Amino acid sequence: MQMSRRLKRKIVLLVAVVAASMAIMGVLLSGMQENLTLANYISEMEMETEQLHTLLEEAEAENAQNKETFDAIYQSKAQSVSFMAANNVGFEQTDAKMAELQQLLEIDNIMVVKADGTIVAKAAATEANFSYARFNYLRECLATGEPSRAVEIELPDRDWLKRYYAARIDADTMIVIEQSPAELRELVETTGSTASVLQNVSIGQRCRSSPTPADRERVPVRYQRRHDRLERAPRALLDL
């Protein structure tokens, strides 16, 4: 039996309706997919923001730890020389002795300085005028008997970037160490600066994982080796 023309028209019409429905459904599904993608992207960005906040806090804490460790090394070195002077163990307030201590302690400069800022002996020339109030923190050691807080001076126009540490010899005299903080700044720039933190973040992607414990210990380990040498410094000074 041959199919009637009316039935053929109905079939063609039905096929057209189904095709149109499929096209509309495709558009709707595409829109839904775009909405889901956008929602996922927004959720991803919110997670990245939370992780970035954590990374910045961790970087700030790491910077503080690196700075504390750096300062402790040179405070201890100053205190070691103070111990040597207090016990009158081969200590002399001369340029030659300061140069010898500079080599032994692996520092930029070491000086004997009076409370009024007068330099009695030095290993090398210095830009510092210790009579200025900016160095008052160093003089704290004369009253407390403990190593002073660090004093950092940065004057780019004079190419002067140094960090200073002092330890008491007597009520009117102190040992002062002058050291470039370039290494400390390099560590901050590579491990704890905002730029280094942002390297762990990519838009539209998850933040990379925070540094592992081994990564965090990488910098202190470098300093720990110095601490190990530093613990032997008083004995070395006694042998001078």
**Which token pair is 222?**
């470098």
Token look-up 């459904």 returns: 25
Residues 91-104 have pLDDT tens digits of 999 999 999 999 99
Q: What is the DSSP string of 187-220?
A: HIIIIISHHHHHTT--TTSPPPPPPPHHHHHHHH
Residues 145-156 have pLDDT tens digits of 999 999 999 988
Cβ neighbours of residue 154 under 8 Å, at least 6 residues apart?
160, 161
Main-chain phi, psi angles of 233, to 5 degrees: -60, -45
Query: 177: exposed, middle or buried (C-beta count within 10 Å: 0-12, 13-18, 19+)?
Result: buried
Judge whether residue 42 has pLDDT over 50: yes
pLDDT over 70 for what percent of the chain?
A: 57
Q: How many angstroms separate the CA atoms of 164 and 136, rounded?
A: 11
* Average pLDDT for 64-72: 90
Judge whether residue 206 has pLDDT over 50: no
Residue 173: closest CA among 119, 94, 96, 136: 119
Token look-up 């804490």 returns: 61
Catalogue all structural domains in the chain, each as residue range(s) with its CATH number: 60-238 (3.30.450)
Q: What is the pTM of this model?
A: 0.66
